[in-house]
Amino acid sequence: MDETILAPLRTAAAAVSDIGLAAMAGALATPALLHDASSGWAARRARRCRLLFTASATAGLLASLAWLWLQAISMTESPPLEALLGAGDIVTGTAFGRAWAGATLALAAGLALATACRYRAFPLRGLGLALVGVATAQACMGHAAAGGIGWLVPTMAVHRLATGLWAGSVFAATLVVLRGSPDPVDVVRYARRLSALATAALAGGVFTGAASAWHALGGSLAPLAPARASPWSIELEVKLALVAVAIALGVFNRFVVLPALPGAWPRFARVLRVEAVVLLAVLVVAAWLGSGEPPAM
């Protein structure tokens, strides 16, 4: 199979994996945001987060397996079925293969734990640890580990978690919380906490993302100049533009719409839906960046 076909497919698999991780983080954060709500509406929203978590974990696991298969086809230059048989050598014989195994096992463990606790209290701490394991192992698979395990790996792991928490909380709001007739008291409390969580996650994501991008650019903004533009730098600029749009939507909701709740809930919901679409695009572009070659690499 030609690399011009394999590369977009690998990027698509990575994007689905990243989106799944974000949705899992949002599915864990939302019950915490509703932990002291007393209405039936809030209880139903929290229960549906279980379904979101298991569905997202399943999608992420399948995407991870597909990514390895595509990577095996690319590395072995073999037909798809033959490459599948050689995937084990990639896992055991390469650093990124072992990192992939760690991420996939952590993902599978999270899915198994969520399924096993189906009729008991949602194990937020255990599942949170599983997500930390996934994000750390995924950081070891990318450019952050190219020069060995240094400061870039934990920086990128925190970036993945922070960005995932920001995007995932908005995804969970769009897919779960915005449905049904909300309780006037609980919805105001939830919206305020969601805004605070998104702000904190955004701060962590911007700080760690800036550090990683600065390193990838070689400690200079020169690669972003039009005369030296590369596909990677253009993709970075697209990502930054999308992040700026998402931030503007969040600021609008926080300072203009949120004070008018609960009456402005429909408007709050509309802005959240638009923000969810923008953040989805951010994660897709981020996956594309991860598959490219930074100027300093």
pLDDT by residue, tens only, the chain of 297 residues: 677 788 899 999 999 999 999 999 999 999 999 999 889 999 899 889 999 999 999 999 999 999 999 988 988 888 888 888 888 888 988 888 899 999 999 999 999 999 987 767 778 899 999 999 999 999 998 877 776 677 889 999 999 999 999 999 999 999 999 987 889 999 999 999 999 999 999 999 999 999 998 888 888 777 777 757 788 888 999 999 999 999 999 999 999 999 999 999 999 999 999 999 999 999 999 999 988 888 765
Which residue has tokens 């650019």?
217
Predicted model pTM: 0.94
Tell whether 119 is covered by a domain. Answer: yes
* Amino acid symbol at 115: T
CA 253 to chain centre: 22
Is 200 within a domain? yes
H-type alpha helices, the chain: 3-33, 40-76, 80-85, 87-93, 95-116, 124-141, 152-172, 184-216, 231-252, 265-291
Query: Tell me, what's the pLDDT at 85?
Result: 81
Domain count, the chain: 1
Burial 211-231 (b: 16+ CB within 10 A, else e): bbbebbbeeeeebbeeeeeee
Whole-number pLDDT of residue 1: 66
Q: Residue 262: which domain range?
A: 3-291
Q: Report the C-alpha gap between 290 and 15 in whole angstroms.
A: 10
Q: Cα(23)–Cα(167) distance, rounded to whole angstroms?
A: 8
Residue 189: per-residue pLDDT: 95
């209880």: which residue's tokens? Answer: 43
* Alpha-carbon gap, residue 196 to 18, rounded angstroms: 23
pLDDT of residue 297: 59
Residue 175 counted as domain residue: yes
Residue 215 domain-assigned (yes or no): yes
Is 151 a domain residue? yes
Token couple for 76:
């072995």
**pLDDT for res 217:** 85
| Rounded Cα gap, residues 138 and 99, in angstroms | 7
Tokens coding 239: 């990502």
What is the per-residue pLDDT for 296?
64
- Asked whether residue 42 is assigned to any structural domain, the reply reads yes
Q: Is residue 187 part of a domain?
A: yes
CATH number at residue 167: 1.20.1630
pLDDT of residue 136: 94
- What is the pLDDT, as a whole number, of residue 76? 83
Q: Is residue 297 part of a domain?
A: no
What is the predicted pLDDT for the residue at 87?
Answer: 86
What is the model's pLDDT at position 33? 95
